[in-house]
Structure 1
Amino acid sequence: MASIVRMPEIAANAESATLLSWEVEGGATVHAGDTLALIETDKATVDLVAEHDGTLSHILAPAGQEVAVGAAVAVLLENGESEEKAQTLLASLSAENVSIAAETPSRAEASCAQPAESLTHRQFASPLARRLAAERGIDLRGVQGSGPNGRVVKRDLPQAASQPAATAAENISAGSSVRTGANEHAAAVRDAIIRVPHSKMRKTIARRLSESKATVPHFYLDAECRAGALLTLREQINGSIDGKISINDLIVKAVACALRDLPEMNVTWAEEDMLHYRDVDVSVAVSTDKGLYTPVLRQVEKMSLTEISHTMNTLAQRARDDQLSPNEYQGGAFSISNLGMFGVSRFSAIINPPQSAILAVGAVQRVPIVVDDQLAIESVVKCTLSVDHRAIDGALAAQWLSRYTRYIEQPWAMLV
């Protein structure tokens, strides 16, 4: 039967999402599973799909609009149903304080189409292909898609990279529909200042981190870990396997082992109780051109180093491709932020609520230290643990950091 297509709750507790673009026009015939529109949350871009075969008779929310979760965005008729069914549904929406003019499909299409562009000229493309095309200046309207129903996918872009990009004037006059990404919105230049509107993700990051610093009582503990044995173990492992284990993989393993040993650290604060987690799920910060993602590795205490490496590489690539699903970046009580690859020696990180702690890891550096009353040069990695004092006391955090340091300095202990 005819149904109202509503904005789904893609991420837990999300109140709204941005309807980036419509992938079909009003009055078009669709099949179950077809992508109707692209939706952007603070962390991902996902497809809004048709739940059954039918006709998209009315589009109720224009592209580019932020829509509340549960709000009506379209009407989908089943095959063979009349326009009267759609009008009945539209009338029922008045009870939800939604003011929608009863329009024919062609009028609905005209009122809800993206600015200056007829949807009949849209080239269907995957979210990843749209982002890559925007980055490379490729006009998707001239790309022949090899995906289902001629949809442009990532593999279609390399051969199109040599095509000349449309000029700004052409894009304005033609109403280019290429999705430029949340942090690449149109910028207005006034005098010597370029104003770039905040993306939904950037707004969310700013809000959550501001709330964290304002409401979570942070305290910080520092440690300098001798990393010579860790580097030796890594070299030995990489000399005996096909893949490569990174320093970060070993750090993830050390964190997981320390959390396994001290489960009192594997908790989060709630207003009425403390949440204790049976599994050790660790978030790892991944920087992308869109913002910071924190994909979660599940049950890390049970994973081998090669499993950690493979899972981390997969999640990091999915984050860079803007393909993470909510269950891949939500959860866990602990995060790792490693800036060592940028040469940073030491820094403090902000806790990612509702988690209780985050470990900031600097670069492995050769420095002078005193060993057995003798001056020596050794490889050292500096780490700073940020802790939520509501959930974890100082003595417990110090025990955990000592245990973590032992695993870094005696890494063979992680493997037995």
Structure 2
Amino acid sequence: MPTEILMPALSPTMEEGTLAKWLVKEGDTVSSGDLLAEIETDKATMEFEAVDEGVVGKIMVAEGTEGVKVNTPIAVLLEDGESADDIGDTSAPKSKASSNAAPAEGSDKTDPAKGYGRGDTDASPAPAAPKSDSGDRVFASPLARRIAKDKGLDLSQIKGSGPKGRIVKADVENATSMPKAEAPKAASISSTPASTGQSSDAVVKMYEGREYEEIPLNGMRKTIAARLTEAKQTIPHFYLRRDIQLDALLKFRSQLNKQLEGRDVKLSVNDFIIKACALALQSVPTANAVWAGDRVLQLKPSDVAVAVAIEGGLFTPVLKDAEMKSLSALSAEMKDLATRARDRKLAPHEYQGGSFAISNLGMFGIDNFDAVINPPHGAILAVGAGVKKPVVGDDGELAVATVMSVTLSVDHRVIDGALGAELLSAIKENLENPMVMLA
């Protein structure tokens, strides 16, 4: 029976993508592992591999089509002995097509949930892809979803026997009715719905007669807008600020860089900040945590994310086990991640996860700012520039010191005020006494 190839979810947060380029054409024979297409997500362009072998019987979504929802049929694969006549009535999904699709910028292979459904070529639409109680997408073929809906089955309770655990027709036909438990109701904060802002038409009308250029939103900018709006609306931020004297660190860094010249290593202040935060999370382990909806996950390792600005947006690559790594190792890893982030060649596992983030705008001359928490992180440190300021020393004498202002944005659901203050104090202690970080 013909197999529908579905739009894959190439990252846990992907809901739609752009089919940038087909690497096969109708009539081509493919085997498991062969590259089928290049698909743009909100973060990168990735290659999509075949799971089964067969002949490409029909391509249902043209190159350059934007906004293709996950689990939408994009092609049909025929088995040996089957022909195009076996496909039946299939039609391409209605989605916004672009005649100028962005070229592939990278080809990072991940372990995507492959979008294949067997024998799902009848014309009736399949229900939307279900999710488990934890919010994860349940992967099932369109036919399996239709049968489950007709039988009143909860797909999240069925174990799939297809590729990558995908639920197929046989799984739901052999299952007994298991109605889905009613989800708990969220506590109501206000009866007034949250404002969604002015409509695009209203804003455009406001600027009639004024000269402007309309910039369409790409996938990354849409995701940034949605996630940060959600973060500010749903995360109870509070902010803690400290000034950190950097003179001892700058002197120590200069000495280390002279000794490391032969290894072609040059440590940045940001490398020390990463190390200081990683060690502080170990000193204050209760603050090394993330919000998981109905619970808090307290991490053992210090997985520190660092914001990297790229054209049109940003990435937050994660340095895992940062507390265990030397300054030179952190420096080399950060340079590699930043370079590949700017080239959009990071795989999802390299920019997802972590419990804590750093956003450093000091190199742009920003003295201080407040950063928005990147969920599900418990906190983010906003780092300003180191500037010369008058300070009063321990002896009461006035002196000049290099002072860096930092702001810790904290999720109050995860970290309380006193705990956040303790974490920021540990970060300050590490940076003002840098040799301690090598002990």
Q: Given the superposition, is the C-alpha separation of residues 256 and 348 from structure 1 closer, same or farther in structure 2, using an over 3 Å criterion?
A: same
Match of 1:205 in 2: 224
CA offsets 1:107-160 (integer angstroms, 9 cap, x no match): xxxx99x8779xxxx9xx85349xxxxxxxxxxxxxxxxxxxxxxxxxxxxxxx
Task: Quote how far apart the aligned CAs of 1:75 are.
Answer: 1.8
Does structure 1 retain, via aligned residues, the 8 Å contact 2:38–2:104? Answer: no
Amino acid at match of 1:338: N
What residue is the counterpart of 2:361 in the other structure? 339
For the residues of structure 2 that align with 1:401 and 1:213, how far apart are their CA atoms?
21
Q: In structure 2, what is the Cα distance between the partners aligned to 1:408 and 1:115?
A: 50
Partner of 1:187 in structure 2? none
Deviates more, 1:294-303 or 1:363-372: 363-372
Q: 1:327 aligns with which of 335, 349, 370?
A: 349
Write the deviation string for residues 230-253 of structure 1: whole angstroms up to 9, x where unpaired. Answer: 111111111111211111111000
Question: Using the alignment, how far apart are the partners of 1:291 and 1:55 within structure 2?
Answer: 39
Cα pair 1:281 1:299 within 8 Å, conserved: yes
1:87 to 1:290, Cα distance in 2 relative to 1, 3 A: farther
Residue of structure 2 in register with 1:100 after alignment: 91
Measure how far apart 1:200 and its partner are.
1.2
Offset, 1:386 = 0.2
Where does 1:62-73 land on structure 2 (aligned, <5 Å)? 62=62, 63-73=64-74
1:35 to 2:57 alignment: no
SS at match of 1:51: coil
Structure 1 residue 376 and structure 2 residue 367: aligned?
A: no
Report how far residue 377 of structure 1 moved.
1.0
SS at match of 1:211: helix
- Seen in structure 2, the aligned counterparts of structure 1 residues 51 and 271 have a Cα distance that, compared at 3 Å, is closer
| Residue 410 (1) aligns with residue 433 (2) | yes
Paired residues, what number?
333
Q: How far is the alpha carbon of 1:53 from its aligned partner?
A: 5.1
- Residue 251 (structure 2) aligns with: 232
TM-score normalized with structure 1 length: 0.74
Identity of aligned residues (%): 45
C-alpha distance in 2, partners of 1:293/1:410? Answer: 30
State the one-letter code of the partner of 1:199.
N
2:48 partner amino acid: L
* Conserved 8 A contact 1:38-1:127: no
Structure-2 separation of matches of 1:115 and 1:82: 33
State the alpha-carbon separation in 2 of the partners of residues 218 and 115 from structure 1.
Answer: 39
Deviation at 1:258, TM superposition (A): 0.3
**AA of the residue aligned to 2:313:** G
Partner AA of 2:17 in structure 1: A
Match of 1:268 among 282, 290, 297: 290
Matched-pair contact (CA < 8 Å) for 2:20–2:104: no
Q: Secondary structure in 2 aligned to 1:398?
A: helix
- Between the aligned partners of 1:207 and 1:48, the Cα distance in structure 2 is 26
- CA distances 1:313-370 after superposition (whole Å, capped 9, x unpaired): 1111111111111111111111000011111111110000111100000111111111
Q: Which residue of 2 aligns with 1:127?
A: 105
In the alignment, structure 1 residue 354 sits paired with structure 2 residue 332: no
Contact 1:43 1:201 in 2 (8 A): yes
The structure 1 segments of at least 4 consecutive aligned residues displaced by more than 6 Å after TM superposition are 114-117
Preserved contact between residue 21 and residue 64 of structure 1 (Cα < 8 Å): no
Note the alpha carbon deviations across 1:250-277, whole angstroms, 9 max, x for none: 1000000000110101111233221111
Counterpart residue number, 2:150: none
| Cα distance in structure 2, aligned partners of 1:348 and 1:115 | 37
Report the secondary structure of 2:374's partner residue.
coil
Work out whether residues 267 and 333 of structure 1, in 8 Å CA contact, stay in contact via their aligned partners in 2: yes
CA change 1:364–1:115 in 2 (3 A) is closer
Query: Which amino acid in the other structure matches residue 365 of structure 1?
Result: V
**In structure 2, what is the equivalent of residue 21 of structure 1?**
21
- Structure 2 residue 417 is the aligned partner of structure 1 residue 394: yes
TM-score, normalised to structure 2, is 0.70
Q: Is the 8 A contact 1:7 1:71 kept in 2?
A: yes
Provide the residue aligned with 1:310 in structure 2.
332
